[in-house]
Amino acid sequence: MSNWEKYCLRHCFAIPEGFLTCEDDIPAKKSLNDGNSDSDLDAELVSLRKKLEDANNESEELQKELSSLERQAECQRNLDSSMAELLKVFESKAFQDNFQGMKRKIVENIDDQIDWNVNGHHKRLASGFTARTEDSQDVVNVLKKY
């Protein structure tokens, strides 16, 4: 060894007195001299790498699941918002009035249709008119439920 290396070993890398106790010194020397410590450390390192890989995979899966849940929550919020708007429209006074007016008109038209059929006031219908009396009666029955 060169003089410089010897100097570094003795002075630069020397552990100050009192820094290590006797109990600490013995296991440190034993682990340095023990050939199995490297293989134990290698095995532990492999094990830790495997655990890290598993944790990373689990983290990716959880991120995907979280992203999916966030998308579902956003869709649900949009649906709730749309439903709230729709309910406001249906509950509005103007809609209720229009609905009742349509209901009255349909009932009046059905009554007129029945009167027309019974009294024989047969007039020629427009060429595009395809409704039958049964269809109109079905509509009246549905509206009477409300």
Tokens 């009742």 sit at which residue?
100
Contact of 137 with 110, CB cutoff 8 Å: yes
Residue 39 pLDDT > 80 = yes
Most confident of 5-9, 29-33, 107-111, 120-124: 107-111
Q: Please check whether residues 28 and 69 belong to one and the same domain.
A: yes
Q: Which of 48, 64, 91 is the last residue of a domain?
A: 91
* Structural domain boundaries, residue 120: 92-146
Q: Please check whether residues 76 and 12 belong to one and the same domain.
A: yes
Band of the pLDDT at 112, cuts 50, 70, 90? confident
Query: How much is the pLDDT for 142?
Result: 77
Query: What would the DSSP string read from start to end of 98-125?
Result: HHHHHHHHHHHHHHHHHHHHHHT---PP
Q: Please check whether residues 46 and 70 belong to one and the same domain.
A: yes
Is the pTM higher than 0.85? no
